[in-house]
Amino acid sequence: MPTQSTSRVNENVGRQLSARRKAFVLASCCLSVLIVSIDVTIINVAVPSMRAGLSASPSQMQWVFDIYTLMVASLTP
């Protein structure tokens, strides 16, 4: 049977883990946003050469860019 001091220790450990989990979730979300932002920047730099290589119109390149961004954003944890 747990004593009162043991239950207080368990509550403190639970709070610490909860704070750690919150920090981990926040860090992973921030990292995901950073990765997507970097990928979008890379694609923006590559658009002129992709357009020339694919002989695509600006509208078609916008579709390629949008689909790529959506896929990267949805698959990044």
- pLDDT, tens digit, 9 for 90 and up, residues 10-20: 666 667 768 88
d(Cα 12, Cα 67) in Å, to the nearest integer?
Answer: 46
Q: In the chain, pLDDT over 70 holds for what percent of residues?
A: 77
Write the pLDDT tens digit of every residue in 35-48. Answer: 888 988 988 898 88
- pTM across the whole model: 0.59
Nearest to 65 by CA among 76, 77, 48, 75: 48
